[in-house]
Each structure stands twice: as structure tokens, then as C-alpha cells.
Amino acid sequence: GGTIKLVGTSLVLAVNGTQNAVDLFASGGLGSDRGNRYSIDEGADGRILLGDNDDSSELARTQVDISTSAVREIVGPTAVNPYLHGDLGLGQATPYIPNLLGGSQIYGFLDGITIDQIDFNPQSTERDAPDSDALLAVLRLPGGLDDIGLGNHPSAISFPGFDWVLVANVTGQNLSSPRIGIGIHSSDITTETTDSPLAFDDLDIATAGPQTLSALNAGKVWVTLIPSSAATQTVRVNASLAGDATVEGTLSNLAAATLGTGGENQVAYITANRPALGTVGIANADASFTGFKEIATGNSGEIYALSADRNAMVLLDGTDYRVLQVIENNFDGVSNFHDLRNITASPDGEFVRVQVGDRGLATLARDSSTGVLTFLQLQVPDAGLSPFFRDYDSSLQKIVINDIDHTAIALFELTDPVDGITAQRLKAYTIDNLTGVLTAIPNVPDAFNLHEGEIDSAVGETFVDVTNGPAITYLLTEQASDQRLNSYRVVAGTGFAGLGTAVAGADFGFTGAD
């Protein structure tokens, strides 16, 4: 007889890449075909040991011809986890996690992961970004990596009786002297402040033992496992960074912060009092933001740029051009945020606005000290009643904002969907100076034909461009190759009011030129 021992963190017996029947010989004799099951031939005094960490059903998938007492199922490889404390954590062993950077270990870095792949609120249906003032995130994942959208990662196997804990640097800079301690307590009132330096154990390097990290590099994601088999337990995390307050602001480290099992309480953050500290929205600083096509500046010197390739608005520091924030389509609760154009920042520093495709206007509130943005609303401006005999299709060509007079002017192209006839229209709006919401001025023409609320193009006339300056709105038109410059005043209660005779293109002249 003899002993065969097959043990691993995740045990998969395969033939030609497919899990199938495998003959295991504990002594001499011929193998038998058991059909899609593991089979073990009679082996006198031999025995077989099977074990892994991802389930407990190896024996159920095994057929034996020897005494069942000679076949045992054992656990896979584990080791005492140095980051655990508390009466349910201290001295506990946790399984090795496969496919970490550098090999299988009980803790280490996920390979090939960036911050923009992680959902920081597993409870929501959208993929959510970390908090805007966050430096480091600690997440508890009862369902494993699948909880945060990483179910296809090579390390994403299930460990019954264990939860994952994930530590992520959500900034674009390295974070100094990271430490962590995870308390697992039978009492929910127990608090301990034990922690240890974050470490990395690379099996491929010659240096024996784990290496203490002097910093957690930008965008890196560190993981380990914690036992979760106790009927009642409370998990609390201690985490800290060492920072220069002149660079990082006042740090708020984690001391016995509770990590729950559902929704937002699955994550805790180390934060700084400066939201613009290299943090990003859903993407990290290594993300590719090619295809910038427009920029605008804010009152604090920050730069807002539109990335056509990513359907994103990127906030950059105006001094060193660090990425401070990203607002991207289909992330962090933002949707229909695409084909961005005509970005503007209000002179009073309250709002940043951007036209979205040919339909709407997105309004974002601006933090007066940092320039960080909060998405307020996406509006589809009302183009008014149809100039045709039926409903029309509308395309928003341009919208111009006047934050001094709190008015907006939209230029639409209206199309009869049956006849294909088109017309252009200027539509006037008032702007709520607190919420940024646009309200259309209704079109109620009077006997003086003052174009209240809207102005439609005449047959053969083209509206070339419009600008909405303080007190005066200028409209450039063209008809039969003749251009005209028209001027109006927008009155909040009554709409457009004409300001004298339009100037024909032939009358445009130079002042002070011989």
C-alpha cells in the first residue's frame, strides 16, 4: 500500500482540460472507469487524502473500492494570519489565495486590477466610485470578489467559512507607512487598536519571509481572508497612514471601524480634509484619458477637460496637472453622459455645465474651495410648441448661458418627421441661481411682435450662431448669401425684446481703419 495526497487551495482534477473521471491508485491493480467521477482502485493498506479550501465535497465526487476509513478529506493549505486579533481572530489560520501577484499566499496584491474596475458600494446596481475625500478604502466581502464586480478574476474563488477583506489605495499617489489590523470579536462592544505594517510575500524573490511595505502604491489592491463561521461576530478594522499634513491635509485614520456585510457599511475609508488630494472618480490616475477636445478653467485655477474617448469630464489641478476627479458615463450613478461639448464654468464659481449630445444640458455644482464637482441634474430643454402641423423631432445645436442675468438661450433644429421640413428656433430660459434648473419662457406673442419666448427662422433663413452676453443676445443669420447681425434683450418675464434694426453684412465695417 501507500498514500496519495492531493491537496491545494482549489483542487480541480481534469482530463484534457475538463473535469472528468480520474483513476487514483493506492496500490497495484488496474484502474476502473467510473464515468465522470473520481475512482480509487482497491489498495490493500493504501490510503488517499483529498483536500482543498474552496468546498467540502471531494468525497461526494469520489468512488472508492477500498475501506472508506482509508479515504479522508482534509483542508487545503492555511497559515496563521498575522493581521487578525480579537477572541475569534487571534491565532486563526486562513487559506492561501491563488494567483496573487508573485504566487499563492494568505495575503498579498491582486494582479492586474485597477481602481476603476471596483464597485465601492456592492448594494447599488451601478458601479460606484470611492468617496471623494478618500485616500484608502477597506472593504469586507462576504460574497468574495464577485461582490465588487471582480467575479472573473483568477483569484476569485469561494472560500466557505471566510470573508474577503480588501485594502485599496484610491488615489493617484503612493501612501506612506500603511498599517492594518482586523479584529473579530464575539461581543459587539469590544474594541482593540492592534495593527501591523502592511506586507507582501513574493514567492518568486530570493529574500525569505514577508517584506514590510514602506508605502502602498497608487491604485494597488491588497487582500486577505478572515474567518466568518461564528454565528455572532463583529468585525472591526484599524487602518492608518503616515502623512505630511502640508501635502495630505489632516488624516482621519480608522480606529475600530465596524465592517458589516451588506451595502455601504461594507466599506470604511481613511480620509483627508482636502477632497482634491489626488483622488479620482471612478478611474485611477493611470487610466487613459486621450482625446481631450475642450477645456475650461474654474475660479480656483483648476482645469475641467472633456475626454471624448471616455465620455468623461476630468478635473485637473491647475498647477501640477494631477487628475483630481473623474465624472464618467455609466459610473457612480451618472448616465446618459456622452458626446460632451460646450463646457462652461460660471463666473460666480457655483456651477459647471456641459452640453450632452444633441438633447440635454448637464449641470454640476462646484465646491468653492476645491473645484470638486457634484452632479445635480441632466435636463432636456423644452423647445416649445411645434411650428408644423404635427409633433417634431428636435436637435439641440447649442446652448449659451448668461450667469449674470440668469438666462440661457438654446438653438434648436426642428424637423417634421413626415415631410422632412426643418426650421431653427431660439428659445429663452430663466436659470434658478440656487439649483441651476432651466425654466422655459413661454411664447405668448403680443401686438408688438417682440418675439416673446422664442424666435423661429424664416423660410430660406439659417441661424449661424448665437451668443448670450450681459444684457444683449446677438444672433447671426444668413439668407441668400446675405448675413445679418440681430440684437435682443432677454427679459425674465417676457422673453426676447428686439433692440433696433438688424445690421446687414454689407454694413459691417472697421472703426479707425483707413
- From 51, 75, 99, give the residue that closes a domain: 75
* 266 and 343 assigned to the same domain: no
Q: Which residue has the higher pLDDT, 188 or 287?
A: 188
Residue 286 domain-assigned (yes or no): no
Of residues 470 and 487, more confidently modeled: 487
Residues 133 and 163 in one domain: yes
For 345-353, what is the mean pLDDT? 93
Residues 113 and 259 in one domain: yes
Mean pLDDT of 150-168: 91
**Residues 324 and 414 occupy one common structural domain:** no
Last residue of a domain, one of 324, 344, 378: 378
The pLDDT tens digits for 454-469 are: 899 999 999 999 998 8
Q: What is the pLDDT of residue 432?
A: 92
Domain membership of residue 287 (yes or no) is: no
Q: Is 427 contained in some domain?
A: yes
In which residue are the cell numbers 485637473 written? 316
The mean pLDDT value for 88-96 works out to 93
421 and 355 in a single domain? The answer is no
Q: Specify whether 265 is located in the same domain as 340.
A: no
User: Does one domain contain both 194 and 305?
Assistant: no
Statement to judge: residues 303 and 316 lie in one domain: yes
The rounded distance, in Å, linking the Cα atoms of 394 and 414 is 5
Total domains in the chain come to 4
Q: Which domain-ending residue is among 75, 102, 133?
A: 75
User: pLDDT-based confidence at 36, cuts 50/70/90?
Assistant: very low
Same structural domain, 226 and 330 = no
Which CATH number covers residue 366? 2.40.10
**Mean pLDDT comparison of 89-93, 98-102, 440-444, 505-509, highest-scoring range:** 89-93
Q: How confident is the model at residue 337 (pLDDT cuts 50, 70, 90)?
A: confident
Longest CA–CA span in the chain (Å) reads: 116
pTM: 0.49
What is the average pLDDT score of the chain? 79
* Per-residue exposure over 166-200, b if at least 16 CB sit within 10 Å of its own CB, e if not: bbbbbbbbbbeebbbbbbbbeeeeebbebbeebbb
In the 3-class helix/strand/coil scheme, how is 62-116 assigned residue by residue?
EEECCCHHHEEEEECCEEECCCEECCCCCCCEEECEEEECCEEECEEEECCCCHH
Greater model confidence, 300 or 206: 300
Which of 191-205, 244-258, 377-391, 393-407 has the highest mean predicted lDDT (pLDDT)? 393-407
Q: Is residue 514 part of a domain?
A: no
Which range, of 261-270, 388-397, 443-452, averages the lowest pLDDT? 443-452
Judged against a pLDDT cut of 80, whether residue 144 lies above it is answered with: yes
Residue 279 lies in a domain: no
Same domain, 197 and 246: yes
Residue 109 pLDDT exceeds 50: yes
Sequence-distant (≥ 6) Cβ neighbours of residue 258 within 8 angstroms: 234, 235, 236, 265, 268
Q: What is the predicted pLDDT for the residue at 32? A: 40
The rounded percent of the chain whose pLDDT value lies above 70 is 73
Closest to 336 (Cα-Cα) out of 313, 353, 359:
359
> Within 10 A of 28 (CB to CB), how many other CB atoms are there?
12
- Residue 283 falls inside a structural domain: no
Q: What is the pLDDT of residue 328?
A: 81
pLDDT: which is higher, 13 or 171: 171
Q: pLDDT at position 283, please? A: 41
pLDDT at 91: 93
**Domain shared by 91 and 70, yes or no:** no
* Model pLDDT, residue 263: 65
Residue 280, in any domain of the structure: no
Residue 244 falls inside a structural domain: yes
- Tell me which residue range forms the domain holding 325: 292-378
Mean pLDDT of the 437-453 span:
73
Q: Do 138 and 265 lie in a common domain? A: yes
